Amino acid sequence: MANSNSADIVVVGSGVAGGLVAHQMALAGASVILLEAGPRIPRWQIVENFRNSPVKSDFATPYPSTPYAPHPEYAPANNYLIQKGDYPYSSQYLRLVGGTTWHWAAAAWRLLPSDFQLHKLYGVGRDWPYPYETLEPWYSAAEVQLGVSGPGSSIDLGSPRSKPYPMNPLPLSYMDQRFSDVLIAQGFKVVPEPVARNSRPYDARPTCCGNNNCMPICPIAAMYNGVVHAEKAEQAGAKLIPEAVVYRVEADNKGLITAVHYKDPNGNSTRVTGKLFVLAANGIETPKLMLMSTSDKFPHGVGNSSDQVGRNLMDHPGTGVTFLANEPLWPGRGPMEMTSIVNFRDGAFRSDYAAKKLHLSNGVPTMSVTAALLKQGLTGAELDRQIRDRAARTLNINSFHEHLAEPQNRVVPSADHKDSLGIPQPEIYYSINDYVKKSAANTHELYAQIAALFGGAEVTFDDTFAPNNHIMGTTIMGSDPADSVVDADCRTHDHSNLFIASSGVMPTAASVNCTLTIAALSLKLADKLKHEI
């Protein structure tokens, strides 16, 4: 073995979860090694990659997949995720310093109290091993760390708060305001989203200036990215090693984790030892790594005595609608997403069908409008007129549907497909049940109602359950070691010094983006680790 390294804390993955844990532990005086499979790419390079790309519609384009740490690509497809299930799990995620929050809409929602007690209240799914109130202080701490701007106390988002948001909300665009006014008058509950995007200078980052380029890259760093805390961890003394693809977690016969092994891009292997280990490599790569880490003592992989590692895979299956309003609304001004409909996040209906959140897209529709008109053969002045008219009137609404934790939905290392380092690719078994489908049928009706309120023409529904890249459940949390992977502290039941910081631990998906919950769980975990060094 080349080059041995050792630290108090070894963290695998430098996204928002790993970066936060590494930063907190370095501040506490622990020695920290932060391992990242992908490269370190500066923001300016990502901006230039996007600027020079002929394909602007694929948010992964500025982040080219590497042979040694590939991630899913779809235009063209690299088939990194091997699809074996009834329905494709076509999620995007990134493998580079900072992780997937390089491209996201910055939505920073809290779960509802009822989301922690889904089975107790509604008889479906699972419960968390603790109530909302346990995580609430960590939600507040996460909002400070990420820099969240959100509405004041006059707007109830359903999640009780002990502290206000650290920043006032960003101003809403004309489209967001008009959309809200029309729907609120008809009984819809429409609210401004809390977002990890600066409404004033914050944490040495500037105010959002409305580039409308949050995905794939905020060019000025007004929007939070995981790289913020990866770099803060370095500044606090952590050792960050990029291009370090961890392929094995080593356990001794007593069940303690003794080391992780990584390969560099040339295939050279390094063993890293430590006292405490944190896996933070997202909800697909983390369980894949755990299942690959077999030994005589642990023939089914580390942390897997329950046979739940890789199982209970969830996302927020999405549907959408696009239509032409009977008035210009000018989408594309300001951040890419700021407004949500939240009537359907909770209620007795959850016993029967999935909760959901609907949200208005504020992306610029010019490219899709132009492509459609060119297919019709329009040219010249008429093409220009139609682009201006249609781009101003195009509305797009999407949704997140709650998915239940089901053991048959799972990730395993592929036996047949490997990357350039010989590491197995993820193999996915995924299906969408009637709980989601029944809710989506209702969502379709809601879309039709909303389109009618705007005199919608050329109404186009997308009922194909698009992925929303919220990878949850695969290292699920629970109080019973027989049916879960980690306990309430995110400690694996099988190994007292192995912890997981990830959306993979979430027992319920709820109906909102999971990044703030990841951050809250990571800060709660770091506080636990400080008492164990």
Strand pairing category for 32-35 and 5-12: parallel
> Could you tell me which of 235, 294, 244 has the C-alpha nearest to residue 3?
244
- Cβ proximity of 182 and 204 under 8 Å: no
Domain of residue 522 covers 5-530
> Could you tell me which of 495, 504, 487, 98 has the C-alpha nearest to residue 260?
495
Is the pLDDT at 420 greater than 80? The verdict is yes
Please give the angle made by the CA atoms of 488, 491 and 492, to the nearest 5 degrees.
Answer: 115
Q: What is the mean pLDDT of residues 191-210?
A: 98
Instruction: Tell me which residues are annotated as active site.
Output: 470
* CA 147 – CA 152 distance, rounded (Å): 15
**Count of CB atoms situated within 10 Å of the CB of 466:** 16
Give the pLDDT of residue 87. 96
- How high is the mean pLDDT of the chain? 97
* CA 5 – CA 21 distance, rounded (Å): 19
Give the pLDDT of residue 4. 53
Give the pLDDT of residue 2. 38
pLDDT in tens, 99-146: 999 999 999 999 999 999 999 999 999 999 999 999 999 999 999 999
Ramachandran assignment for 377, one of left (phi > 0), alpha (psi -120 to 50 degrees), beta (any other)? left
DSSP structure string for 169-196 = PPPPPHHHHHHHHHHHTTT--EEEPPBS
Q: What is the mean pLDDT of residues 24-43?
A: 98
What's the pLDDT band for 1 if we cut at 50, 70, 90? very low
Whole-prediction pTM value? 0.97
Residues 6+ apart with CB under 8 A from 359: 107, 193, 337, 339, 340, 341, 397, 398, 399, 400
pLDDT in tens, 285-333: 999 999 999 999 999 999 999 999 999 999 999 999 999 999 999 999 9
Residues 6+ apart with CB under 8 A from 275: 7, 8, 9, 497, 533
Beta bridge partners of 466: 318
Q: What is the mean pLDDT of residues 65-79?
A: 94
Give the pLDDT of residue 56. 80
Is the pLDDT at 58 greater than 90? The verdict is no
Quick one: tokens of 370?
């132009």
The whole-angstrom distance between residue 105's C-alpha and the CA centroid of its chain comes to 10
* CA 183 – CA 195 distance, rounded (Å): 21
Helical spans, DSSP H, in 378-503: 380-393, 434-453
My answer on whether omega of the bond before 76 falls inside 30° of 0, hence cis, is yes
Q: What is the mean pLDDT of residues 449-465?
A: 98
For 111, which DSSP code?
P
pLDDT in tens, 351-391: 999 999 999 999 999 999 999 999 999 999 999 999 999 99
* CA 317 – CA 249 distance, rounded (Å): 32
Strand pairing category for 32-35 and 239-241: parallel
Task: Give buried/exposed letters for 497-532 (b at 16+ CB in 10 A, else e).
Answer: bbbbbbbbbbbbbbbbbbbbbbbbbbbbbbeebeee
Task: Give buried/exposed letters for 179-198 (b at 16+ CB in 10 A, else e).
Answer: bbebbeeeebbbbbbbbbbb
pLDDT in tens, 133-182: 999 999 999 999 999 999 999 999 999 999 999 999 999 999 999 999 99
Please give the angle made by the CA atoms of 506, 419 and 422, to the nearest 5 degrees.
Answer: 105
Q: To 10 degrees, what angle do helices 174-184 and 434-453 make?
A: 100
DSSP-derived 3-state class of residue 401: strand
Q: How many structural domains compose the chain?
A: 1
> Could you tell me which of 199, 105, 188 has the C-alpha nearest to residue 449?
188
CATH number of the domain at 145, please.
3.50.50.60
Give the pLDDT of residue 37. 99
Is the pLDDT at 54 greater than 70? The verdict is yes
Phi, psi dihedrals of residue 35, rounded to the nearest 5°: -100, 130
